Amino acid sequence: MTPRAKSYLNHYLFSLNESKRRSYTSFSADFLCATEKDANDCAELIVKGEKTATCSLEYWYEQADVSIPEIGHLQVVLNWAGEPQCIIETLEVFEVPFNQVTAEFAFEEGEGDKSLEYWQSVHREFFTQECLLEDMEFDENMILVCERFKVVYP
């Protein structure tokens, strides 16, 4: 975590009472998505309260040897330039095949027209590109790690 992101996180944590502050044990700072435009758009949607969910391929966690997010995790959401935009708290984590993502979850992702059809189209394209980088083919039965979150600090 960069010093700027850590300072932003600490400002939030020290605004809480000691009991609440100590209840948080998992922290990160990152942007969402893989391009400047998408990262900045996602951060803006989160700040506006329109995006309250996100997902990633389970494969990515396995290959990167990164733990799947936990309930209660705090993430400093960054824009592409690395500037903190807000802090989110993970409320729910679940796994589901790509082809079983619901319209409700697609709406919560908050992108485009918020429809399942839009979600499937852009995520199919995104995950296909991500899979190509790993020299594999995207399959609609691939497992996604899905998260629901709330903004806890503007």
Question: Would you tell me how many other CB atoms lie within 10 Å of the CB of residue 125?
Answer: 11
Distance of CA 73 to CAs 1, 27, 36, Å? 14, 6, 24
CATH number at residue 94: 3.10.400.10
pLDDT at position 89 is 98
Can you give the pLDDT of all 154 residues of the chain as single tens digits? 999 999 999 999 999 999 999 999 999 999 998 899 999 999 999 999 999 999 999 999 998 888 899 999 999 999 999 999 999 999 999 999 999 999 999 999 999 999 999 999 999 999 999 999 989 999 999 999 999 999 999 9
Looking at residue 31, its pLDDT comes to 94
Domain containing residue 68: 3-153
- List, as one string, the DSSP characters of 37-79: HHHHHHHHHHHHT---EEEEEHHHHHHHT-PPP-TT-EEEEE-
> Going edge to edge, which strands form the sheet with 74-78?
27-30, 74-78, 84-97, 143-153, 53-57
The pLDDT assigned to 126 comes to: 94
Q: Which residue has the tokens 């790509």?
A: 98
Mean of all residue pLDDT scores within the chain: 96
Q: Vertex 56, ends 51 and 62: CA angle to 5°?
A: 150
pTM of the predicted structure, to 2 decimals: 0.92
Coil/strand/helix, residue 138: coil
Q: Provide the pLDDT for residue 34.
A: 85
- Please give the tally of structural domains in the chain: 1
**pLDDT value, residue 104:** 98
Class of residue 85 by CB neighbours under 10 A (exposed 0-12, middle 13-18, buried 19+):
buried
Using DSSP, state whether 107 is helix, strand or coil.
helix
User: Could you give the C-alpha distances from 28 to 6, 31, 67, 87, 90, in angstroms and in order?
Assistant: 9, 10, 12, 10, 11
